[in-house]
C-alpha cells in the first residue's frame, strides 16, 4: 500500500488527508470546518498517524461549512471559531468544547513597510474596513507610525468570502471598538462588507494579500508567518502597543473563564491587560451527543484527548495557546456526561 499525504496550505480549500490508497479504515477520523485551526490539525494529524496508524481527514472549508456538515452528519466532528448558542446545540443534538486558542492578525502587502513595522489601532482598522481610510499614508495611519515612510498607495481591503469563524471574531472585535460598525455591519461568520474583495478560506485571504500590492487582510497568525506576509502590531484595550506572539495571545486567553461558561461559550476579543493581543480567538469542536457511528466518535475523542495531552509542543510551535489542563479535565468530564451510545458513555474520563 502506498501512503498518500496531501497537505495544501496554499490552496483555496485546504485538506489534511492522510489515507491509504487501497483501503479506508473504520477508525479513520473525518472532520471539517475552521481554517483557523487547520495548521495545527495538520501537525497533530501527522504525529497521531505515526503513533497510532489512524488517519485524520480534515477539510478546511470555514466554520460555516463545518457547522453545516456536522449538522448533516456527513462528518464525525465540525470545527468552528464561532461558538453555537445553547438553542442551536440543543436543536441539532450537539455538544461543543474548545480545542485551541490563538490570535487573528492584520496582514499587509505595503511597499517599503517590513513585517511588524506597521502599527494599527482598532479605530483605524475599523475605518479601513468601513472604507473611510483609503490610502496607506492617511493621517490616521501616519499618526500611529511616526518615523515610518508610508507610500501614497491605495488600500485594497481583503476579507473572507465564505462563512468564517475568523470573520466572526474579527467583526466581533470591530463591533466592540465601534458602535457604528456594530449597528451597521455587526458580527457574524458572514457580513455585508462595506468595501473590499472576498477570498475563500484563510488560505485564499493569505494568497490574495500576498499577490495584491497595497492589500490588507486578517488571518490566523500561522498563515501570516507561513506566507511571509507583513503583519501589524496593535494598540490593545489597555492602550499598549503589542506584538502578535504566543505570549500576547496567552495573555488574552488567560481571561477566559471556561469553568463558569455554559457549553464553554467564551469569546476573547478585546480583553484587558497590558500584554493582551486584542483579536484573540478560540476554536470549538462540535460533535453529536448521540453518535451516528460509535467507533468513529470514540476514535475522534481519543484523538482530541491525545492532542490536549501530547500535542502542546506542536501547538506552541505554530503560536497557538493550548487549552489549560484544568479545562481539559472539565472537557473530558463533559464528554462522559454528554456523549453516549446505547445510554453508555463513549469516552470515560480518567
- pLDDT digit string (tens) for 46-87? 999 999 999 999 999 999 999 999 999 999 999 999 999 999
Mean pLDDT per 10-residue interval, the chain, length 350 residues:
33 40 57 96 97 96 96 97 97 98 97 96 98 98 96 98 96 98 97 98 95 97 93 98 97 93 96 97 98 95 98 95 96 96 88
Q: In the 8-state DSSP scheme, what is residue 15?
A: E
| Sequence-distant contacts of 346-350: CB under 8 A, at least 24 apart | 346/291, 346/294, 346/297, 346/298, 346/301, 347/298, 347/301, 347/302, 347/305
Indicate if 104-264 has the same CATH topology as 3-100+282-345: yes
Each residue of 141-161: pLDDT tens digit? 999 999 999 999 999 999 999
Global pTM value: 0.89
Q: At the topology level of CATH, where does 3-100+282-345 sit?
A: D-Maltodextrin-Binding Protein; domain 2 (3.40.190)
Domain ranges of the chain: 3-100+282-345, 104-264
Each residue of 122-134: pLDDT tens digit? 999 999 999 999 9
CATH superfamily to which 104-264 belongs: Periplasmic binding protein-like II (3.40.190.10)
Whether 198 contacts 159, CB under 8 Å: yes
Sign of torsion over alpha carbons 198, 201, 204, 210: positive
Determine how many CB atoms are found less than 10 A away from the CB of residue 233.
21
Across 8-32, b (16+ Cβ under 10 Å) vs e yields: ebeebbbbbbbbeeeeeeebbbbbb
Amino acid at each position: 500500500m502506498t501512503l498518500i499525504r496531501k497537505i495544501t496550505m496554499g490552496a483555496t480549500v485546504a485538506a489534511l488527508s492522510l489515507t491509504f490508497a487501497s483501503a479506508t479504515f473504520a477508525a479513520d477520523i473525518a472532520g471539517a470546518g475552521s481554517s483557523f485551526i487547520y495548521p495545527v490539525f495538520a501537525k497533530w494529524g501527522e504525529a497521531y498517524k505515526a503513533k497510532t496508524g489512524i488517519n485524520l481527514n480534515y477539510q478546511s472549508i470555514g466554520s460555516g461549512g463545518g457547522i453545516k456538515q456536522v449538522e448533516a452528519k456527513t462528518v464525525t466532528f465540525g470545527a468552528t471559531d464561532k461558538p453555537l448558542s445553547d438553542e442551536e446545540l440543543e436543536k441539532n443534538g450537539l455538544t461543543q468544547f474548545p480545542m485551541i486558542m490563538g490570535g487573528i492578525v492584520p496582514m499587509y502587502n505595503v511597499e517599503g513597510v517590513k513585517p511588524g513595522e506597521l502599527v494599527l489601532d482598532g479605530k483605524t482598522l475599523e475605518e479601513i474596513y468601513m472604507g473611510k481610510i483609503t490610502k496607506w499614508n492617511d493621517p490616521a495611519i501616519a499618526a500611529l507610525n511616526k518615523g515610518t515612510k508610508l507610500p501614497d498607495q491605495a488600500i485594497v481591503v481583503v476579507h473572507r468570502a465564505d462563512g468564517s469563524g475568523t470573520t466572526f471574531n474579527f467583526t466581533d472585535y470591530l463591533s466592540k471598538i465601534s458602535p457604528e460598525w456594530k449597528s451597521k455591519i455587526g458580527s457574524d461568520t458572514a457580513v455585508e462588507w462595506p468595501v473590499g474583495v472576498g477570498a475563500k478560506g484563510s488560505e485564499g485571504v493569505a494568497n490574495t494579500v500576498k499577490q495584491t500590492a497595497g492589500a490588507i487582510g486578517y488571518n490566523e497568525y500561522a498563515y501570516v508567518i507561513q506566507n511571509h506576509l507583513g503583519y501589524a502590531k496593535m494598540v490593545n484595550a489597555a492602550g499598549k502597543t503589542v506584538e502578535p506572539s504566543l505570549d500576547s495571545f496567552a495573555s488574552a486567553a488567560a481571561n477566559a473563564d471556561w469553568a463558569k461558561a455554559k457549553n464553554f461559550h467564551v469569546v476573547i476579543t478585546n480583553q484587558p491587560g497590558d500584554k493582551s493581543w486584542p483579536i484573540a480567538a478560540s476554536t470549538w469542536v462540535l460533535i453529536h451527543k448521540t453518535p451516528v457511528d460509535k467507533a468513529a466518535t470514540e476514535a475522534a475523542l481519543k484523538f482530541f484527548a491525545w492532542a490536549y495531552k501530547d500535542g502542546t509542543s506542536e501547538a506552541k510551535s505554530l503560536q497557538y495557546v493550548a487549552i489549560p489542563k484544568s479545562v481539559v479535565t472539565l472537557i473530558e468530564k463533559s464528554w462522559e456526561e454528554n456523549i453516549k451510545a446505547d445510554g453508555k458513555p463513549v469516552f470515560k474520563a480518567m
